[in-house]
Chain A
Amino acid sequence: DGGITQSPKYLFRKEGQNVTLSCEQNLNHDAMYWYRQDPGQGLRLIYYSQIVNDFQKGDIAEGYSVSREKKESFPLTVTSAQKNPTAFYLCASSFDRGNYNEQFFGPGTRLTVL
């Protein structure tokens, strides 16, 4: 089945550690996105990528990094510079940049900093 997978579902991190969240899609989508969701704040865009080997900062990129070496994969690293990383992280993808296509979402990763 086509879809977006994210792993792990739950992730615990000690302060000062970097962690990487995985996002894979087999929908042949060009664009991929990372969002952060906090209670009562909706979704906020961290990074997005329209094409392989290119990505752009979203609204809250500080303390995060990404790579896009393959069309299917868009991993997100939460670095120790992110002051408040505990949140629910959602990955999404869509067809054709610039065509207002709906974004499809993965099941999310819940990150907790201990």
Chain B
Amino acid sequence: AQKVTQAQTEISVVEKEDVTLDCVYETRDTTYYLFWYKQPPSGELVFLIRRNSFDEQNEISGRYSWNFQKSTSSFNFTITASQVVDSAVYFCALSYMNYGGATNKLIFGTGTLLAVQP
């Protein structure tokens, strides 16, 4: 079965602190993709990153970085020097292929609400 777990329901930090959002996934597939999305108060989900199961290199984009470890089935997201504008719900998601290769479906975690206090 495919599953994504975000154990942290809510995190509160003070501006300029670093914060890591955890994501643990389950899948039997050898080929899959992992995603992070940001949902600000406006409600629209904003795509942040996509990572395939064969690429375990960490990625950095400005203040954002991602750590993918297949050995622990984790794809954690770190925000360095957090800002108030980072306040949002963050979703981790797993994409897998239905047998037959016809469907690109996303399984979402329950999200982590990040509150950055000024």
* Residue positions of A touching B, CB distance < 8 A: 31, 33, 40-45, 48, 50, 56, 58, 88, 90, 92, 94, 96-108, 110
Contact = CB atoms under 8 A, between A and B. Distances in A.
Interface in B65-114: 91, 95, 97, 101-106, 108-111
A108 B101 contact: no
A103 B106 contact: yes
Contacts of B60: none
A44 B109 CA distance: 10
Given A42-B110, A98-B101, A100-B95, A108 B52 contact: no
A98 B97 contact: yes
B64 interface: no
Contact of A100 (B9, B46, B104, B108): B104
B104 A43 contact: no
Which 7 residue pairs of A and B lie closest in terms of their CB atoms, listed nearest first? A105-B45, A42-B108, A100-B33, A42-B110, A108-B43, A43-B108, A107-B44
Contacts of B35: 102
Interface of B: 9, 32-33, 35, 37, 42-47, 50, 52, 91, 95, 97, 101-106, 108-111
A99 B106 CA distance: 12
B45 A100 contact: no
Contacts of B105: 45, 48, 58
A101 B43 contact: no
Given A98-B101, A105-B45, A108-B43, 16 more contacts: A40-B110, A41-B110, A42-B91, A48-B103, A50-B103, A88-B43, A90-B45, A92-B45, A98-B102, A99-B104, A100-B50, A100-B95, A103-B106, A104-B47, A108-B44, A110-B43
7 contacts: A33-B106, A43-B91, A98-B97, A105-B47, A106-B44, A107-B43, A107-B44
A32 to B, nearest CB: 12
Contacts of A100: 32-33, 50, 52, 95, 97, 104
